[in-house]
Amino acid sequence: MFKKIDHIGVAVNNLEESLHIFKDVLGMKCSGEEEVKEQNVKVAFLPVGESEIELLESTSPDGNIAKYIEKKGEGIHHIAFEVEDLDVMLKNLQKKGVRLIDKEPRYGAGGARIAFLHPKSTNGILVELCEHKSQKA
């Protein structure tokens, strides 16, 4: 079950410069920064109501975010939905023929379990499904 839009991922060249824009210019608050080594990214979260903006900077020239910016420039990279039971949902989507980038959930920022769907299956939108730890506990 889809619960809400968890966050919108934005690919940026320079996290510090983008934080300056989102915090000091737009007036949002940053709730935390983290490096996710598995994904070669540094991320920062800016909560807006029930959802967040996730700024992503690549830590490696051949990381996904770096490649994305090279092709399409900075901008919205993915939309993340919070879901109730990620394992069940991935199995069901696979049965329906949805192409999955992650067949098994992996570790995401903030300790969430996440999985990406292939944009070819979702009208060109890179969809991230995430499940927060506290739900399972």
Question: Where do contacts with Zn ion occur on this chain (CB under 5 A)?
Answer: 9, 54, 80, 128
Shortest Cβ 77–Zn ion spacing (Å): 8
If the CB atoms of residues 51 and 95 are measured against Zn ion, the closer one turns out to be 51
If the CB atoms of residues 57 and 128 are measured against Zn ion, the closer one turns out to be 128
If the CB atoms of residues 56 and 93 are measured against Zn ion, the closer one turns out to be 56
Shortest Cβ 122–Zn ion spacing (Å): 15
Shortest Cβ 79–Zn ion spacing (Å): 9
Cβ neighbours of residue 136 closer than 8 Å, sequence gap 6 or more? none
Distance of alpha carbon 43 from its chain centroid, rounded?
A: 9
| Nearest residue to Zn ion on Cβ basis | 9
Shortest Cβ 95–Zn ion spacing (Å): 25
* One-letter identity of residue 97: G
Contact 10, 78 (CB under 8 A): no
Taking alpha carbons only, the member of 106, 85, 133 closest to residue 36 is 106
d(CA 98, CA 109): 24
If the CB atoms of residues 24 and 101 are measured against Zn ion, the closer one turns out to be 101
Number of H helices, E strands in the chain: 4, 8
